Amino acid sequence: MMCLHPLFLIGAIILIVILNIVQGNGEKIRKMLPSTIVFFLMVILFNSLLTHRGATTLFYLGDSRIKLEACMYGLVMGLLLVAIMFTFASYNDIISSHKFLYLFSRISPKVALLTMITVRFVPLFIRRLKKITLVQKTKGVQLDSGSLIERIKNGMKLLQVLLVCSLEDALQTADSMQARGFGVTKRTTYIRYRMERRDLYTLSYLVFLLITSFIFSYYGGGKLIIYPKVESILFQQYDGIMFILFMMFISLPIMMEGRVTNCYDLFNQL
């Protein structure tokens, strides 16, 4: 939220896409791209139609006035959501469930476990629903044929089977956790991640950039004033310095991943 500026967000999206490509997630980004573009355009469209704040009227759509400020705010929000979606594509590739629990279980074990289960919940449901749909097709239960009432009934049958399977798995998970003594003693981890000297250097570098960015953000850097009247999209007083700091902050994972990739390729060549 520090850099709500279209040029900042476009630069961030480009770097995040490059990071995903370096990590080997190019195919995942390509599959996400159509739905992401549709989602991005819907954010701009709905914000332009539902928000009538602003001083600059672009045109009239019936009785509604389409404002430049509403379109610009929708553009910024759409770019922000696209950046978040691409960031989580990289996050899912880097942070496993073991790493997540290792980071947050000492702070709040129950909240960390609940968060991990919740994040795992949706993709697990989707995979399980696909399997159930394939099995039910062999029994004549289909969602792509028949009348609307028949398809609704078949969909309810699939959801019923999915709910029963999920409840059974939840009971098995609870019994397994109780049998292993979950919560009885302090949690231990099988793999330990230790802070090395390079990690401290990297953390210091990020903290320095973050503090410096906060200082320039306090003086208005990296922000585009939209309401009541949108200002120029070109960089103002501190925007240039803020942009450099912002790009340096985001590009660090790319440099680290690129270094690891080059070392790995060099090792394979040897």
User: What b/e string do you get for 66-102 counting C-beta neighbours within 10 Å, with b at 16 or more?
Assistant: bbbbbbbbbbbbbbbebbebbbebbeeeeeeeeebbb
Q: How is residue 141 annotated by DSSP?
A: -
56 or 13, which is more confident?
Answer: 13
Which of the given ranges, 29-38, 155-164, 223-232, has the highest pLDDT on average?
Answer: 29-38
Q: Is it the case that residue 263 has pLDDT exceeding 50?
A: no
**Which of 39, 50, 32, 155 is CA-nearest to residue 87?**
32
Q: Per-domain residue ranges for the chain?
A: 6-96+198-269, 106-179
**Per the structure block, which two tokens stand in for 229?**
């009247």
- The owner of tokens 């709040």 is 108
pLDDT of residue 254: 84
Long-range contacts of range 55-62, CB-CB < 8 Å, 24 or more positions apart? 55/228, 55/229, 56/229, 56/230
In whole angstroms, what is the distance from residue 175 CA to residue 169 CA? 10
pLDDT of residue 208: 92
> Could you report the per-residue pLDDT of 233-247, keeping only the tens digit for each?
788 878 888 888 888
204, 187 Cβ separation under 8 angstroms: no
Q: What is the average pLDDT value for the chain, to the nearest integer?
A: 80
Min mean pLDDT across 13-27, 30-44, 72-86, 143-157 is at: 143-157
**Which of 237, 254, 239, 250 is CA-nearest to residue 7?**
239
**Which of 27, 29, 4 is CA-nearest to residue 16?**
29
269 or 108, which is more confident?
Answer: 108
Exposed (0-12), middle (13-18) or buried (19+): which is 147, by Cβ within 10 Å?
exposed
94 or 260, which is more confident?
Answer: 94
